[in-house]
Chains A and B, each alone.
Chain A
Amino acid sequence: MFDFYFDLPHWIRMALQGLAVMLVMFPIAAACSMAERKIAAWIQDRPGPNRTLAPILAWVPGIGFLQRLGIFQLAADGGKFAFKEDAIPGHVNKFYFVAAPIIAMIPALTTVVAVPFGAYIDSAGKLVPIVLANVDLGILVVFAVSSLGVYAVILAGWASNSKFPFLGGIRASAQLISYELSMTLSVLPVFLWTNGPLAGEPAGFTGSLNLARVVEFQSQAGFWGGAWFIFLMPLSAFIFLVALFAETNRQPFDTVESEADLVNSFGSEYGAFKWSLFYVAEYAHMLIGSAIFMILFFGGWNPLPWYTLSDLAHHLNFAHLPLVMGVVGIGIFIGKVLAMIFFFMWVRWTLPRFRYDQVMAIGWKKLLPLAIANLVAYTIGIALLYR
């Protein structure tokens, strides 16, 4: 059925896959901004955007429900951003000012390549992860590329050539570097565990930071095999979560774009389409971060702990249909990621913002020692366990 697709040259297939992922990412990221407004409204006991409606659709029965959900607001916002006059202030450094939103999008969309988002069973009965580039380095690629995201904020702040964006840029560079450390240290126990001597590795296995492997590791048989890592290493998950909030500039760590003291910082000189690119990039970062969190600690595309996607496929009898299984796996995974995004928003409307010195103190004085202690403890524990 899909032979024509597999007959295409390799690079065209790759390009199509990348394009497909981007075409999914971009609308989800945009829809997240809408969801953010709706959830903000619901938590604050108000209905949120619920008026927008394309006039030609008004006769469709049941459209009122979608209208109340604010679905069409998304199109209206997007249209506005696309057609609004894109003013460039006179005092900015034009080249870097225009380059900054583009640079924001690059790492946000590039990291997707190393993130697996589903699996299917091929004709040989082998579980194959669905991922653009199934590289050995997995998590390291994601960390490395996403660490470039800071330049967008720094550049935007510097090129804007005004005070608040500049301060925001400086804050961003310090904050992102600070929390990257704890984040990297917090995931090390996971990979120590998956690469341990008893990890059930095939012969000739050379150690891997592959993300799909982490999910496979969490979908083994038995009590310890099927346990998600959130149960095995809750402290790692907690540190990763906190660092993730800081890395994505979300409340309570959004000192970079705090409108109260920095007037939205790097965004303050931007408008229209360039501003919306920053927003989409932020949500794309959140999506990737949530995806990594789900893969590392919440079993990826497995529906429940100790109940894997293959189990589900065998029970519902679609294991022999790779397409169905792939779609179900991706669906479960995206559902989990969206739940995580909801958690981001939920926290945003619950906690007040930390002061900048508090952010730094938490990062260096609390989270980093905690991450190091966690790493040392798990290293010793795993060494003892496998001796």
Chain B
Amino acid sequence: MSSDIFFYIFAALTAGSALAVVFTKNTVAAALSLLVSLVGVAAIFVLLDAFLLAALMVFVYAGAVVALFLFIVMLLDSQGGTRKPFKKATLFSGFVALLLLIVGLASFAQRGAQAAIVHEVPAAAVPVGASLRAYGEQLFTTYLLPVQIVGFLLLIAMLGVIVLSKKFEGLGDIK
């Protein structure tokens, strides 16, 4: 199947650039790797028939969020700097996390071999997530309360950002 090949290509792209985010020294390069990773995720969404989410992913994340990151990186001009060696606690916890990760992924693989996770659901004529109306109906019926809460959250976030970025007069002595 051709879409399988596409999945592996985009999965490799996504994971590879995600690794680059973690391991690159340059902050701008990290932000750009994040961008590539997000575009890869959008491609994965397309493979999953979630076209709207893919477009939103590119629009919101790749178009705005990463641009904001780059904006801040350039504003603060934080180029790498010296790197201190990790502490023992960090290394230990990292090792534990790696172990957990290996165990988790191994269990995934094992369960997958048993193929017991997915109950076969009959395929719909139109794949789920492809129609816009479905999103609208869900958002404004079942999920109306979360929509309103999220709207409120956005408003609060906006106010918070305005307050945070405002320079207050007369607070200079508070350190």
Chain A residues near B51 (CB-CB < 8 A): 135-137
Question: What class of interface size applies to chain B in its complex with A?
Answer: 20 to 34
Q: Are B56 and A140 in contact (CB under 8 A)?
A: yes
Q: A143-B59, A144-B58, A147-B59 are in contact. Are A206 and B67 (CB under 8 A)?
A: no
Contacts of B74 in A (CB 8 A): 154, 158, 166, 169-170, 173
A147 and B63 form a contact (CB under 8 A): yes
Cβ distance A108 to chain B, nearest Cβ, rounded Å = 15
Give the residue among B52, B58, B66, B131 with the most A Cβ atoms within 10 A.
Answer: B58
Question: Is A173 in contact with B62, judged by CB distance below 8 angstroms?
Answer: no
Contact A148 B56 (CB under 8 A): no
In the bound complex, do residue A137 and residue B52 qualify as a contact, i.e. CB atoms below 8 Å apart? yes
Query: If the complex has contacts A137-B55, A140-B55, A144-B59, are A207 and B67 also in contact, measured as CB distance less than 8 A?
Result: no
Q: Which residue of B lies closest to A204 (CB)?
A: B126
Binds A, one of B83-91, B94-102, B132-140: B132-140
Within 8 Å by CB of B63, from A136, A144, A166, A207, lies: A144
Considering only residues 30-75 of chain B, those with a C-beta below 8 Å from chain A are: 32, 35, 51-52, 55-56, 58-59, 62-64, 66-68, 70-71, 74-75
- Would you give the shortest CB distance from B79 to chain A, in whole angstroms? 11
Q: Are B55 and A206 in contact (CB under 8 A)?
A: no
A177–B67 CB distance below 8 A: yes
| Interface size counted on chain A using CB atoms at 8 A | 28
Nearest-Cβ distance from residue B124 to partner chain A, whole angstroms:
13
- B20 interface residue, CB < 8 Å from A? no
* Contact of A372 with B by CB under 8 A: no
The answer, yes or no, to whether B130 is at the interface (CB within 8 Å) is yes
Q: Do B64 and A206 have beta carbons less than 8 Å apart?
A: no
Cβ–Cβ < 8 Å partners of A170 in chain B? 71, 74-75
* Min CB gap A172→B, angstroms: 9
**Contact indicator A147/B62 (Cβ below 8 Å):** yes
Q: A154 to B59, Cβ gap below 8 A? A: no
Chain A residues contacting B136 (CB-CB under 8 Å) are 207
Residues of B within 8 A of A177 (CB): 63-64, 67-68
> How many angstroms between the C-alpha atoms of A145 and B64 in the bound complex?
12
Select which of A145, A154, A207 is within 8 A of B131 by beta carbon: A207
Contact of A31 with B by CB under 8 A: no
Assess the B55–A141 pair: CB atoms within 8 A.
yes
B132 engages A209 (CB within 8 Å): yes
Q: How far is the CB of A107 from chain B (nearest CB, A)?
A: 10
Asked whether, in the complex, the Cβ of A136 is within 8 Å of the Cβ of B67, the reply is no
Q: Given the complex of chains A and B, what is the CA–CA distance between A145 and B46 in angstroms? A: 14
**Chain B residues with Cβ under 8 A from A115's Cβ?**
none
Contact in complex: A206, B70 (CB < 8 Å): no
Is there a chain B Cβ closer than 8 Å to A150's Cβ?
A: yes
> Which residues of chain B are within 8 angstroms of A143 by Cβ–Cβ distance?
55, 59, 63
Write the residues of chain A forming the contact surface with B, with a CB cutoff of 8 angstroms. 96, 135-137, 140-141, 143-145, 147-148, 150-151, 154-155, 158, 166, 169-170, 173-174, 176-177, 180, 206-209
CB-CB nearest 8 A-B residue pairs: A147-B63, A144-B59, A207-B133, A144-B58, A206-B131, A206-B133, A140-B55, A207-B132
Given contacts A147-B64, A169-B74, could you give 15 more A-B pairs where the C-beta distance is less than 8 Å?
Answer: A96-B32, A140-B55, A140-B59, A141-B55, A144-B59, A147-B58, A150-B63, A154-B67, A176-B67, A177-B64, A177-B67, A177-B68, A180-B63, A206-B132, A208-B132
